[in-house]
Amino acid sequence: MPSHRPGQRITAVKPITVPAPGRDAGLQVKVTAPTAGRDLPVIVFSHGNAWSMDGYAPLADRWAAAGFAVVQPTHLDSRRNGIGWDDPRFATIWRVRIADLHAVLDGLDGILAQADGLQDRVDRERTAVVGHSWGAQTAGALLGARVFDADGAPGEDFSHPAAAAGALIAATGTGDSLTPFAAEHLPFMRPDYSTMAAPTLVIAGGKDRSQLSTRGPEWFTDAYHLSPSPKSLLTIDEGEHSLGGIVGEEAAETTDEDPARVALVADAVAAYLLDTLKVDGTAWNAFAQRADGTWSVSDK
CB 41 within 8 A of CB 274: yes
Model pLDDT for residues 75-111, shown as the tens digit of each residue? 999 999 888 878 888 889 999 999 999 999 999 999 9
CA angle, 120 as apex, 115 and 123 as ends, to 5°?
A: 105
Model pLDDT for residues 198-235, shown as the tens digit of each residue? 999 999 999 999 999 999 999 999 999 999 999 999 99
**Predicted local distance difference test score (pLDDT) of residue 8:** 85
Model pLDDT for residues 241-254, shown as the tens digit of each residue? 999 999 987 677 77
Model pLDDT for residues 28-68, shown as the tens digit of each residue? 999 999 999 999 999 999 999 999 999 999 999 999 999 99
How many Cα atoms occupy the beta-carbon half-sphere of 223 within 13 Å?
Answer: 40
Query: What is the pLDDT confidence band of residue 161, given thresholds at 50, 70 and 90?
Result: very high
- Written in H, E and C, the secondary structure of the chain is CCCCCCCCCEEEEEEEEECCCCCCCCEEEEEEEECCCCCEEEEEEECCCCCCCCCCHHHHHHHHHCCCEEEEECCCCCHHHCCCCCCHHHHHHHHHHHHHHHHHHHCHHHHHHCCCCHHHCEEEEEEEEEEECHHHHHHHHHCCCEEECCCCCECCCCCCCCCCEEEEECCCCCHHHECHHHHHHCCCCCEEHHHCCCCEEEEEECCCCCCCECCCHHHHHHHHHCCCCCEEEEEECCCCCCCCCCCCCCCCCCCCCCHHHHHHHHHHHHHHHHHHCCCCCCHHHHHHCCCCCCEEEEEC
Q: What is the mean pLDDT of residues 5-14?
A: 84
| Rg from Cα positions in the chain | 18
Beta bridge partners of 166: 129, 200
**Predicted local distance difference test score (pLDDT) of residue 2:** 41
**Predicted local distance difference test score (pLDDT) of residue 163:** 98
pTM of the model: 0.95
Q: What is the mean pLDDT of residues 270-281?
A: 97
- Using the predicted structure, report yes or no on whether residue 25 has a pLDDT greater than 60: yes
Model pLDDT for residues 108-159, shown as the tens digit of each residue? 999 999 998 899 999 999 999 999 999 999 999 999 999 998 788 889 999 9
Query: Could you tell me the sign of the dihedral formed by the alpha carbons of 245, 247, 252, 253, in that order?
Result: negative
Residues 244-281 as b or e (16 or more Cβ within 10 Å = b)? bbbbbeeeebbebebeebbebbbbbbbbbbbbbbebbe
Residue 50 CB coordination number (10 Å): 17
φ, ψ of residue 51 in degrees (nearest 5): -85, -165
Mean predicted lDDT score pLDDT of the chain: 93
CB 138 within 8 A of CB 46: yes
Burial of 218 (0-12, 13-18, 19+ CB in 10 A): middle
**Predicted local distance difference test score (pLDDT) of residue 91:** 86
Which of 153, 159, 195, 156 minimizes the C-alpha distance to 175? Answer: 153
* CATH code for the domain defined by 10-299: 3.40.50.1820
